[in-house]
Structure 1
């Protein structure tokens, strides 16, 4: 016995579905019209005209994707004329109903309602004239069917619109996530290189031996920046490419940030409070990026010499405070750095504040909560809002 693979049989879609529906309806109309020929197979002019009209209505349905409104009106009016010429209640009404549903699914609600109203009025007029084939019950049933078709079409349009908007939102979030990561990585690295190069140029005439040390520091900073950049761009890789092997940014790499800032002339001290525990990947990444951006802003704008990083470990949250002794009130948060840090904190359900101190300096404070049960870091860290983008 030959096995039958049911999964290979699929219903047609798109234009093929229109052709299939039109073909089935045309065959049914032919069977219905054949009953009018009688035993003598005598074809009258009205029979031939009604048959040709049925062929034209069915042939118009596959054209609805290019001319939806014109096809809708033609099928409705053509079907109405067909029923006036024919003595049988043929299945041709399926064609205008299909066109009506397609219009509603495209969001053309006004045209759909107008077409449905014409159909109901036409059938109602037939009932008032007194045709034995059309009754008030038929008008009532047709009205119910048309309302249901309009509702289903409008529902499908709403679902498609929602899916499209959701896709755009996810794409926007993904672009913002990548932009924020690139800003943090490139901004930090380039700031450190700029400060190191400027300091070296300033002191090089009096201390020529400083060049080798400065170039070594710049080389290391650029190397670390390239590694972070490759890891960040890994989210754009193709599915058949290998995953990045660079360690994910997190608390385990805080010492690299401190070393980089120290080479730029900052004295950075980190203090821990509480019992350190493995953090969720998103929280671990957020802590790293907030510290990175804070140190970058300090190097760029503050003129500070000392920075204190206070890291508090709680059972359900981690708190972070970065304080420098620079020109606090001269720091203008017009860039995207502070906004990016705030977005990271909000994406995790936490909060972040950045403000100058009354006696000078600048402080960034953040609180990042996390649930009791979470996945500790053990692979590539995800961005806080990657679930939405």
Structure 2
């Protein structure tokens, strides 16, 4: 079975680590015996070699590795050999089981390892007796605790990454839904009103009905083009055909024509010196105007509307007023889209948003967006 680069790298690192422990074991066992007044005979080295080399597959097969290392270490100690580098191999094997296996499985394996070492405590060539239980237990408990801590930390980090990925995915879905709502909702609202006009005029004034049907055709094409561009931007692909620009305040003229075709006269007024805006700000400002005018189509009744765009140092403002009924959209239309969607767009960019009945009648939507320029 082919293995990926990550697997091969782990195999290599574990092999190098095992080789290093083997070198330490071969070089350090005899000096360790001299320090303890115990001669490390020839029988000491085979267990040292087996325990060290077993670690080359420790992450691939943690339990078999631990079994081999425990058997080698227990045999080494039962033969009366000195405490030495072989214990490093034992510590690493216990740690690996705790760090890579479920706690219950690792705990059972650790208990078996402790029981095996208990044979040495009471039945070895030079058994330490009951006084040796405490240090022998520490040989198992300490690396086991370190391994469990590392595993829990690793799992917590993985959960955090998963939660962050899920949050980003949810935010992306909300953004896509908002974009599609703004594009499709506005286009369908205009098409609906134009269709109503065409049906009303079809029998009595067919020439005017034809104009309404032409407006429907134009509006639907523009909405489809804008939806195509929106989805392209969402996929982070570059548009190469240039048939429809990314929406921004420069398209307010087209928006005004679309509303006029649906029977809602719209005036557009600009104050200050128009200038290029950050893409996100330009899009948000346009969407505020678009959604506010869509609400005029849907809910204001017979009305006119005015859009005022103000360019000031460090910010741009968009205000939409109408002469309609002065009531906001129904609550079920504002939750998550509509007015709520406009507010989320604006506040996400650090701006302010306000919507409500205008003092002079009708309804007013006002948004201020920072442009991030030095003032």
Same fold (TM over 0.5): yes
Q: What is aligned with 1:379?
A: none
Judge which range, 357-366 or 321-330, deviates more.
357-366
TM-score by length of 2: 0.73
- Among 13, 18, 22, which residue is 2:6 paired with? 13
Matched, 1:371 2:372: yes
Which shows bigger deviation, 213-222 or 14-23?
14-23
Partner of 1:203: 201
**2:182 maps to 1:184:** yes
Which digits, 9 at most, give the CA deviation of each residue in 1:37-84, with x for residues without a partner?
xxxxxx99xx999999999998785356xxxxxx4xx76566445432
Paired residues for 1:262-277 under 5 Å: 262-277=260-275
Cα distance, 1:203 vs structure 2: 1.8
* C-alpha deviation, 1:220, in angstroms: 1.4
- Deviations 1:349-369, CA, capped at 9 Å, x for gaps: 112222234674222121212
Higher helix fraction (1 or 2): 2
Hey, what does 1:307 align to over in structure 2?
Answer: 305
Counterpart Cα distance in 1 of 2:207 and 2:248? 35
Q: What aligned pairs does 1:1-389 form with structure 2 within 5 A after superposition? A: 13-14=6-7, 17=10, 21=14, 25=18, 62=60, 71=63, 79-87=69-77, 90=86, 92-93=89-90, 94-103=92-101, 108=102, 130=128, 145-235=143-233, 237=235, 243=240, 245=242, 246-329=244-327, 331-335=329-333, 336-357=337-358, 360-373=361-374
CA separation of 1:51/1:154 partners in 2, compared to 1, >3 Å: closer, same or farther? same
CA distance in 2, matches of 1:275, 1:124: 86
Say whether the 8 Å CA contact 2:54–2:69 is kept in structure 1. no
The TM-score with structure 1 as length reference comes to: 0.70
Structure 1 residues 252 and 85: alpha-carbon distance in aligned structure 2, compared to 1, 3 A threshold: same
Structure 2 unpaired stretches of 5+? 30-41
Unpaired runs of 5+ residues, structure 1, are 1-9, 36-42, 65-70, 375-389
User: In 2, distance between residues paired with 1:76 and 1:147?
Assistant: 16
CA distance in 2, matches of 1:225, 1:270: 21
Q: CA deviation at 1:260?
A: 0.3
Superposition RMSD in Å: 4.4
CA contact (8 A) 1:19 1:62 kept: no
Q: Would the alpha carbon gap of residues 28 and 320 (structure 1) be closer, same or farther in structure 2, given more than 3 Å must change?
A: closer
After TM superposition, give the deviation of residue 156 of structure 1 in Å. Answer: 2.5
**1:225 Cα deviation from its structure 2 partner:** 0.9
Question: What is the CA deviation profile of residues 138-186 of structure 1, one whole-angstrom value per residue up to 9, with x for unaligned ones?
Answer: 8768765554444433332232222222222222111111111111111
Q: Supply the distance in 2 between the matched residues of 1:247 and 1:58 (Cα, whole angstroms).
A: 60
Tell me how far apart the structure 1 counterparts of residues 276 and 48 of structure 2 sit (CA, whole Å): 78
Taking structure 1 as reference, are residues 26 and 92 closer, same or farther at Cα in structure 2, changes over 3 Å only? farther
Deviation (angstroms), 1:234: 0.7
Higher relative contact order (CA 8 A, sep 6+): 1
Distance verdict in 2 for CA 1:109–1:235, change over 3 Å: farther
Residues 162 and 121 (structure 1), Cα distance of their counterparts in 2 relative to 1, 3 Å cut:
farther
Q: Which residue of 2 aligns with 1:40?
A: none
Equivalent residues of 2:352, 2:367 under 8 A apart: yes
CA distance in 2, matches of 1:126, 1:317: 79
Specify the SS of the correspondent of 2:327. Answer: helix
Q: Describe the SS at the equivalent of 2:6.
A: coil
Instruction: Select between 16-25 and 279-288 the one with higher mean Cα deviation.
Output: 16-25
- Is residue 304–residue 324 contact of structure 1 (8 Å, CA) maintained in 2? no
Task: Report the CA distance shift for 1:273/1:330 in structure 2 as closer, same or farther (over 3 A).
Answer: closer
User: Per the alignment, in what secondary structure is the counterpart of residue 330 of structure 2?
Assistant: coil
